[in-house]
């Protein structure tokens, strides 16, 4: 729905983008499905109806009319990727960094986190692994700590770190391990970032790399989005740094800086 709201807000250019994307994905999915179209009959029919109808205009009706089409596009994109290995390069109509920013902005606006993980993963280069993704989230965390600036007192930063970690799920499938690692490594990544390592459980970079390699890039992505959300709500937002900046600008910039997004020909 968040994407549909953005399309509606863009007016004619947004609708032109959605219609072009829908038409391309429908063709790609039909080609990938061969003679077996049963799995995509539902979303394909939704897009066919959307493309044949007059563009909706104005208000909540406009958003409601586009939401099923956006969902159908996501379904067909996943199908084309799984069946034929066809990535966004075949249908993406914006630069890949802009696509990453759009995913982050949509997540802030209400996009399901699992869908956001899927979309971010589709934009990554094919050889990106868990430790690579870890570096991007360390970079993003360091950026936040630099923006926040030096704490008013040691007691304040200790309270913030405790609140942040308490907000995160534990265990290998949780996100606390990643937040602890990112906070610990942030100062080494950027000396301008506040050093909070003394407030954290002990650990080594090698242990962190092994944990990231074990869960893989998607696992780090899923945990990292939770971490950035918690980092925003507990530390950044109270100081005037909005979540939109964290997920829509800081994370995409980190992915670019660490060369993790796929070249257009390889997406």
Q: Give pLDDT, residue 221.
A: 96
Query: Does 226 reside within a domain?
Result: yes
DSSP-assigned beta bridge partners for residue 261 = 124
Do 33 and 80 share a domain, yes or no? yes
Q: Which one is predicted more confidently, 211 or 31?
A: 211
Read off the pLDDT of each residue in 219-235 and give the average, rounded to a whole number: 92
Q: Is the dihedral of CA 90, 96, 102, 105 positive or negative?
A: positive
> Is the Cβ–Cβ distance between 18 and 66 less than 8 Å?
yes
Q: Give pLDDT, residue 21.
A: 81
Read off the pLDDT of each residue in 60-70 and give the average, rounded to a whole number: 77
In the chain, how many domains are there? 2
Q: Give pLDDT, residue 135.
A: 96
pLDDT in tens, 134-184: 999 999 999 998 988 877 778 888 898 999 999 898 877 789 999 999 999
> Is the Cβ–Cβ distance between 47 and 25 less than 8 Å?
yes
Do 29 and 134 share a domain, yes or no? no
pLDDT band of 88, cuts 50, 70, 90: low
Query: Does 175 reside within a domain?
Result: yes
Out of 27-36, 102-111, 146-155, 202-211, least confident range: 27-36
Burial bucket for residue 83 (CB in 10 Å: 0-12, 13-18, 19+): middle
Q: d(Cα 68, Cα 103) in Å, to the nearest integer?
A: 18
Q: Give pLDDT, residue 178.
A: 96
Query: Could you tell me the residue range of the domain that residue 159 belongs to?
Result: 130-257
State which of 93, 121, 140 marks the end of a domain: 93
Q: Is the pLDDT of residue 267 over 50?
A: no
Do 163 and 223 share a domain, yes or no? yes
Q: Is the pLDDT of residue 58 over 80?
A: no
Q: Which one is predicted more confidently, 93 or 255?
A: 255
Q: Which one is predicted more confidently, 86 or 44?
A: 44
Q: Is the pLDDT of residue 197 over 50?
A: yes
Q: Is the pLDDT of residue 189 over 50?
A: yes
Do 166 and 233 share a domain, yes or no? yes
pLDDT band of 32, cuts 50, 70, 90: confident
Arithmetic mean of pLDDT over the chain: 83
Do 234 and 138 share a domain, yes or no? yes
Query: Does 106 reside within a domain?
Result: no
Do 87 and 141 share a domain, yes or no? no
Query: Does 265 reside within a domain?
Result: no
Do 156 and 241 share a domain, yes or no? yes
Structure tokens at 18: 């959605």
Q: Which one is predicted more confidently, 235 or 61?
A: 235
Q: d(Cα 140, Cα 228) in Å, to the nearest integer?
A: 8
Q: Give pLDDT, residue 25.
A: 82
Q: d(Cα 50, Cα 61) in Å, to the nearest integer?
A: 14
Q: Is the pLDDT of residue 35 over 70?
A: no
């Amino acid at each position: 729905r968040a994407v549909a709201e953005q399309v509606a807000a863009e007016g004619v250019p947004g609708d032109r983008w959605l219609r072009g994307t829908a038409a391309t994905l429908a063709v790609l999915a039909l080609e990938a499905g061969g003679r077996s179209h049963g799995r995509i009959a539902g979303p394909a029919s939704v897009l066919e109806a959307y493309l044949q109808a007059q563009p909706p205009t104005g208000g909540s009706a406009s958003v409601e009319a586009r939401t099923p089409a956006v969902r159908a596009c996501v379904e067909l994109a996943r199908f084309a990727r799984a069946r034929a290995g066809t990535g966004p390069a075949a249908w993406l109509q914006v630069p890949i960094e802009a696509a990453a920013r759009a995913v982050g902005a949509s997540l802030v606006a209400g996009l399901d986190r699992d869908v956001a993980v899927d979309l971010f993963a589709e934009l990554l280069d094919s050889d990106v692994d868990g430790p690579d993704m870890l570096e991007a989230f360390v970079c993003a965390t360091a950026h936040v700590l630099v923006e926040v600036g030096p704490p008013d007192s040691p007691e304040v930063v200790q309270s913030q770190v405790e609140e942040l970690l308490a907000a995160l799920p534990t265990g290998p499938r949780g996100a606390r391990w990643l937040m602890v690692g990112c906070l610990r490594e942030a100062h080494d990544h950027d000396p301008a970032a506040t050093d909070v390592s003394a407030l954290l459980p002990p650990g080594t970079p090698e242990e962190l790399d092994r944990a990231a390699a074990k869960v893989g890039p998607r696992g780090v992505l899923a945990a990292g989005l939770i971490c950035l959300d918690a980092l925003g709500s507990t530390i950044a937002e109270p100081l005037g740094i909005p979540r939109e900046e964290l997920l829509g600008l800081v994370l995409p910039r980190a992915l670019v800086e660490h060369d993790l997004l796929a070249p257009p020909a390889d997406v």
